[in-house]
Amino acid sequence: MEKSEGRQTGKKVVAVVGGGLVGALNACYFAKRGFNVHVYESREDIRKAKIVKGRSINLALSHRGRQALKRVGMEDKIISKGIPMHARMIHSLSGKQSPIPYGKKGQVNHTALRVSDFFISALLERTDGSKDQIHADLIVGCDGAFSAIRKQFLRRSRFNYSQTYIPHGYMELTMPPINGEFAMKPNYLHIWPRNTFMMIALPNLDKTFTCTLFMPFEDFEKITTGDEVIQFFQNYFPDTIPLIGAEALKKDYFRLPAQAMVSVKCTPYHIGEKCVLMGDAAHAVVPFYGQGMNAGFEDCIVFDELMEQFNEDFSAVLPEYTKVRVPDDHAIADLAMYNYVEVNNVLHFFLPKTIIPLYTMVTFTRIPYHQAVERWHWQNKVNILYFMHYVIVLSGNLTSWLCLYNICVY
């Protein structure tokens, strides 16, 4: 069966492959511009499904993602379905809780292809075995970290691709409400840092918390019985046992095996003027910066800004999108890896207008990711100079201080 309705109306046809977060938002952007948009998704409609199969992980919506939603009039509706996160809450082994703000006051997180001269032809196979032949002026691959669209890019020369699995996996556990209320303070990202592993908890609208345990696979594999689960939590997360429940903990731990986390980089993101990759299909990242969804949403707004700049000329927009976006997406992939062991920037408290924490630049601004990394490297040099200056002042060595001051000014 051939699909070509858009050609009969004179509108360009855009086929969005993947109906997840980035695919759905992309469809809104293209539809707003008047394109004839078709969205293709292999899974059933989760709004109608009685049981939703697949993996999950809680999501943090921050500035970049909100700006992308705002542009299509969706920000307020989405925000109303989330819970604001004002700060992190660090849980020590002794049970002490210490809040650490994200940034300044008001900065809050919210939880088969072939190209022809005239059109792209994609062959889509349905679950019942039937096939659809679709024609489109542009195919947008938003089909995730294991993208079928991206696999076709691998057949082409000069396409660079890499993927890295980290040694850690993740497992989700549920912390139920207590007497109909949240078991912990809800407006925080709760974190239990424990050297080579950690657990986090994020609140849900039904008053539960989703707890995510990040740990090396070899440690997951050492725990084979319910009693070992309880002993492990007693050693490292004792305050969570009465909140999750010992029996529920034993059951949840073995419900699903620990899931893998992969980081994907590739370039270019486009083929001619006919196909482009976005979201995890272009740049899957590990979740330790909370930027996977936000980076994917920012793909949409960046592409739309280029559509405006180049008058919707795909031949100009697609190569420019690769040029602009690849450095940023590679940067956030690296930042996500780095942030697993977060470095606190003390200087921000002394020089708030000059020294901006890396996390603040990434999460609460739209400073391009690669520029955030460049500024972060510069700030690290300033950190060294500043603390040298601080030590010299305390020692009363005025001559050395003046020399250092000249270096700093330069």
Q: What is the pLDDT along the chain (410 residues), one digit of tens a residue?
A: 344 444 455 789 999 999 999 999 999 999 999 999 999 988 877 777 776 655 566 788 889 999 999 999 999 998 888 888 888 899 999 999 999 887 555 555 555 333 332 334 445 555 566 666 778 999 999 999 999 999 999 999 999 999 999 889 999 999 999 999 999 999 999 999 887 889 999 998 899 999 999 999 999 999 999 999 999 999 999 999 999 999 999 999 999 999 999 999 999 999 999 999 999 999 999 988 889 999 999 999 999 999 999 999 999 999 999 999 999 999 999 888 777 545 333 334 434 454 466 666 676 677 888 887 787 666 655 444 444 444 444 444 433 333 333 333 32
Domains held by the chain: number? 2
Residue 352 inside a domain? The answer is yes
Instruction: Return the bridge partners of 263, or none.
Output: 164
Q: Which domain holds residue 350?
A: 346-408
* Judgement on whether residues 30 and 137 belong to the same structural domain of the protein: yes
Alpha helices in 273-344 (DSSP H): 280-283, 292-309, 314-338
What's the CA angle centered on 274, arms 46 and 370, to 5 degrees?
80
Side chain identity at residue 212, one-letter code? T
The residue among 316, 336, 356 that closes a domain is 336
Q: How far, in Å, CA of 59 to CA of 57, rounded?
A: 6
Please report whether residue 19 resides in a domain: yes
pTM for this predicted structure:
0.77
Place of tokens 């400073």: 367
Q: What CATH number corresponds to the domain at position 191?
A: 3.50.50.60
Q: Of 272, 312, 303, which is closest to residue 34 (Cα–Cα)? A: 312
Q: Do residues 327 and 364 share a domain? A: no
CA-nearest of 28, 102, 108, 37 to 70 is: 28
